Amino acid sequence: MIPAQLSYVRARSVEETLDLLAEHGDDAKVLAGGHSLLPLMKFRFAAPEVLVDIGPLGELSYVEESGDEIAIGALTRYRDLHTNEILRAHAPLLAEVAGAIGDPQVRNRGTIGGSLAHADPAADLPAATLASDAVFVVRSLEGERAIPAEEFFLGPFTTPIEPDELVVEIRVPKQTGLGWAFEKFSRRAIDWAIVGVTAVGSSIALINMGGSPVRARVAEEALASGASPAEAGALAAEDTSPANEPHASTEYRKHLARVLTTRALTKIAGEQPVGLR
Amino acid sequence: MRVGIEVNGKQTDEEIEDRTLLVHYLRDVLGLTATNVGCDTTSCGACTVLLDGEAVKSCTVLAAQADGHAVTTLEGLADPDGSELHPMQRAFREQHGLQCGFCTPGMIMASVSLLRDNPKPSRDEVRHGLEGNLCRCTGYHNIVNAVMDASGQEVQA
């Protein structure tokens, strides 16, 4: 399988990328690690006329402390997120999740900004950033805007990013010392989650329980009112409408969400005194 | 477009279609056919090569993305005159880490990359480190043995 004919352009800076996006609009797609986009192009589900390769832009690959937040460059690879000491200290959920995506080859190429912009409801990082109350910084020639994760994932593969905008940074409030947990259930090691749970502190976000990652609000509220991990976990599938597919029915997914959330919350409760939750 | 890619230590310089995948550049343009296309969907790992020393699935990388970089394929592991196998190749042969052999080039490249990150992996770490490579003969036991052998560790009967 090969992609449709395309015109490849390698951007030399963020500014040049924004110029190219402004020039080509809907006809262009940004290529980062390419591990979501290139498979789509090989299946001809996507056929951009112009491919703007930002892969070499080292200026977008970093993890830095910034006051009460961690700033992550959009081009930081899963491999680098997984091993980054700053992230492991202050946002360990993201480091852990990044290390469980796909396989080593995928983690050598895939980037956080690419995963978020792609907005696959079965992907792990969108839910992890949602649980982390992250904010995404997108830039165009007009300037910058910051979009909270809560307002970013509009539906399957759908975000508010305009064709002339580029995700440049992910900002995550420090989670230093907070309990966290990541539970993913998949058929094979390298598969996307049938259902997954990311949790940090008292926030819970679910993977593949609808068209976009979703916070388990009912379970969160129960936790805040003093419910046990099992009691709160039993409410994890409330207000969700996961897909009904041959290998995983809606009811099976809801069951998984309840079981995995209970496991995640139990782990968090065991890591710190009850009451700090 | 024109790409310049160092492949197995030699500079290559070719005119290609912009959409050319790295695996097709290696196989069809350069004639390096050790790198196999298996699933063609980033799953099986048969097309694994090293890009700047790191394992990647070359069915999911454009040749253009490797422009200016260094690629190593299975052909680049042994001595140029073929007299001495790479330690990983030797271990795969001695431990019989292959059955039909189709996954072997990718398995070996992924294993080389694995040991670069983790020179003395446990058996469990080898299995996780190779989770991006599928052997449809299911010959995993001896593949794990080969990686243990190549890293100077004990193998299991």
> What is the distance in angstroms between the CA of the first residue and the CA of the last residue of chain B?
52
**pLDDT recorded at residue A277:** 35
Please answer yes or no on whether B45 and A103 come within 8 Å at the CB atom.
Answer: yes
> CA distances (Å), A85 to each of A91, A109, A114, A176, B71, in order?
10, 20, 22, 12, 29
Residues 1 to 20 of B: which have CB under 8 A from any A CB? 1, 17-20
- In this prediction the pTM is 0.95
* ipTM > 0.90 (yes/no): yes
User: What would the pLDDT profile of B106-138 be if each residue is shown by its tens digit?
Assistant: 999 999 999 999 999 999 999 999 999 999 999
Would the CB atoms of A104 and B57 count as touching at under 8 Å? no
What residues of chain A, 165 to 204, have a C-beta less than 8 Å from chain B?
189-190
Does the beta carbon of B135 lie under 8 angstroms from any beta carbon of chain A?
A: no
Interface mutation vs chain B, best among A40, A103, A109, A118, most B CBs within 10 Å: A103
Collapse the DSSP code of A137 into the 3-class scheme (helix H, G, I; strand E, B; otherwise coil) and give the result.
strand
CA distance B96 to chain A (A): 24
In chain B, what residues touch A79 (CB-CB under 8 Å)? 54
- Does A1 contact chain B (CB < 8 Å)? yes
Closest by Cβ to A109, choosing from B20, B56, B114: B56
Instruction: Identify all chain A residues contacting B27, using CB atoms and an 8 Å cutoff.
Output: none
pLDDT in tens, A213-270: 999 999 999 999 999 999 999 999 999 999 999 989 999 999 999 999 999 999 999 8
pLDDT band of A276, cuts 50, 70, 90: very low
Q: Which tokens is B58 given?
A: 């070359």
Single out the residue of A95, A93, A125 nearest to residue A112, CA to CA.
A125
**pLDDT at A189 (0 to 100):** 85
A238: Cα separation from own chain's centroid: 22
Model confidence over A84-119: pLDDT tens digits?
999 999 999 999 999 999 999 999 999 999 999 999
Return d(Cα B72, Cα A233) in angstroms, integer: 48
How far apart, in whole angstroms, are the C-alpha atoms of residue A263 and residue A259?
6
Task: Provide the residue type at A20 as one letter.
Answer: L
